[in-house]
Structure 1
Amino acid sequence: MTLRPVLALSARWAFCGMLALGLTGCAVAEWQKIGAPRAEVLQDMGRPTLSYALPGGGERLLYSGQPAGQFVHHLDFDGQQRLARVEQVLTVEQFHRLRNAVDTRETVLQQFGPPALVEGVASFKGDIWTYRLRENGASRQAHVHIDPAGVVRRVMFTDEVFNDRDPFD
């Protein structure tokens, strides 16, 4: 492998990372202070990818780095609109909690937000939602198989393979 393709690949990923940071206003979810008012967090973090009500009058704001990033954060607010919890949920453990034949497209969307990729294969009737994540420092992909009725049927994991060849060579 020559140095030029490695530098080209590194430059592309650095650009994607900068773009992802630019889209989130360079705010970091983990830096948000527990107890902060919702308005302050929104001013710092910007518009969430999704939001929905939680029991007890609370609200969850979901911030996703998909398709380029490998994170999804839940910022949970209590009934007084104060930040109660911040959690990065794009983990193998969270995907293992999905229950086949029980969880649905809606529960996957609420937990992980929109996928990085929606695709299909001939051996499965339905959509495969792919999420990019990190596991022990390695780039991985979680593939959630959702049948035509919107029910989760399977979750599979693969290593994310990067093509280090520069297509412009």
Structure 2
Amino acid sequence: MLNQLAFLTVCTAALLLAGCTEPHRQVEAGADQSVLIGRLGPPKETYDLPNGGKRLMWPTQPMGTTTTAADIDASGKVLVVRQVLQDNEFHRAEIGKWTRNDVLVNFGRPFETAYFKRTNREVWSYRYLENNIEHLLYHFYFDDQGILRQTQRQPDPRFDPSMRNRF
């Protein structure tokens, strides 16, 4: 009896934690945006979409690895809610076509920006988890006209044991 109770307690805790770690799964498409905001709080970033709707974002950057994004139609209904800092979302970026604004609207504000004078490239960096296991950085490189010219991913040095005392 005690083992069953312990097992049920562990399973319940795991389910509760899973629900807390994936807020993008808490609101169904078609719900009013007020339900979404009631669950996630006011968005930290809001962007206009071409169809008259809005993209609402709840980032955890600079130290976190997720950004929940919700597309809302012009009437205020939720179209889709998803976690956008992940490989399948990053790979949608089109080299030579996307601009800084496209990256901003799709992924939110980066946790860090830099400019490489020698190559005339501005880089925006995002922290994320690959398959919820490996801590990585994803970089978007823009030319002086703001056109995306390159992307790159690398291990996050904060989680490299040889770099541990530097952060």
- Give the match for residue 164 of structure 2: 164
Distance 1:55 1:123, change over 3 A: closer
Q: Is this contact kept in 1: 2:55–2:105, CA < 8 A?
A: no
Q: Is this contact kept in 2: 1:63–1:73, CA < 8 A?
A: yes
Q: Percent identity?
A: 27
- Give the match for residue 83 of structure 1: 78
* Coordinate RMSD, CA, aligned: 2.3
1:138 to 104, 124, 134: 134
Distance 1:120 1:58, change over 3 A: closer
- Give the match for residue 121 of structure 1: 116
**TM-aligned CA deviation for residue 166 of structure 1:** 7.5
Q: 2 CA distance for matches of 1:40 and 1:131?
A: 28
**TM-aligned CA deviation for residue 57 of structure 1:** 4.1
- Give the match for residue 17 of structure 1: none
Q: 2 CA distance for matches of 1:75 and 1:113?
A: 12
Q: Is this contact kept in 2: 1:64–1:113, CA < 8 A?
A: yes
SS in 2 for 1:52: strand
User: Which amino acid counterpart does residue 112 of structure 1 have in structure 2?
Assistant: F
SS in 2 for 1:142: strand
Q: Structure 1: give runs of 5+ residues left out of the alignment.
A: 1-25
- Give the match for residue 145 of structure 2: 149
Q: 2 CA distance for matches of 1:72 and 1:86?
A: 10
Q: 2 CA distance for matches of 1:31 and 1:57?
A: 24
User: Which amino acid counterpart does residue 71 of structure 2 have in structure 1?
Assistant: D
**TM-aligned CA deviation for residue 105 of structure 1:** 0.3
Q: Is this contact kept in 2: 1:139–1:160, CA < 8 A?
A: yes
Q: Is this contact kept in 1: 2:67–2:107, CA < 8 A?
A: yes
Q: 2 CA distance for matches of 1:133 and 1:123?
A: 27
Distance 1:159 1:50, change over 3 A: same
Q: 2 CA distance for matches of 1:57 and 1:106?
A: 17
Q: Which has the higher contact order (CA 8 A, sep 6+)?
A: 1
Q: Is this contact kept in 2: 1:62–1:73, CA < 8 A?
A: yes
Q: Could you tell me the TM-score, scaled by structure 1's length?
A: 0.73
User: Which amino acid counterpart does residue 156 of structure 1 have in structure 2?
Assistant: Q
